[in-house]
A and B are shown apart, each in its own frame.
Chain A
Amino acid sequence: ETGVTQTPRHLVMGMTNKKSLKCEQHLGHNAMYWYKQSAKKPLELMFVYNFKEQTENNSVPSRFSPECPNSSHLFLHLHTLQPEDSALYLCASSPTDTFTDTQYFGPGTRLTVL
Chain B
Amino acid sequence: GDSVTQMEGPVTLSEEAFLTINCTYTATGYPSLFWYVQYPGEGLQLLLKATKADDKGSNKGFEATYRKETTSFHLEKGSVQVSDSAVYFCALRLIQGAQKLVFGQGTRLTINP
Contact = CB atoms under 8 A, between A and B. Distances in A.
A64 interface: no
Contacts of A48: 99-100
Contact of A107 (B34, B42, B46, B94): B42
Interface residues of B, number: 26
B81 to A, nearest CB: 22
Contacts of B103: 42-43
B31 to A, nearest CB: 7
A33 B102 CA distance: 13
A105 B16 CA distance: 29
Given A56-B100, A105-B45, A41 B105 contact: yes
B32 A100 contact: yes
B51 interface: yes
A99 B43 contact: no
B89 interface: yes
B95 interface: yes
Interface string A80-111: 00000000001010000111101111111000
B104 A99 contact: no
Contacts of B99: 31, 48, 50, 55-56, 97-99
Contacts of A4: 43
Given A97-B99, A99-B32, A99-B94, A42 B104 contact: yes
A42 B94 contact: no
Interface of B: 4, 31-32, 34, 36, 41-46, 49, 51, 89, 93-95, 98-106
9 contacts: A43-B101, A45-B98, A50-B99, A56-B99, A98-B99, A99-B94, A100-B32, A102-B49, A108-B43
In the A-B complex, the 7 residue pairs with the smallest Cβ-Cβ separation, listed nearest first, are A105-B44, A105-B43, A97-B99, A43-B103, A45-B100, A107-B43, A42-B103
Given A48-B99, A58-B100, 16 more contacts: A31-B99, A40-B105, A42-B104, A42-B105, A42-B106, A43-B89, A43-B103, A45-B100, A45-B101, A50-B99, A90-B43, A97-B99, A100-B32, A100-B51, A104-B46, A108-B42
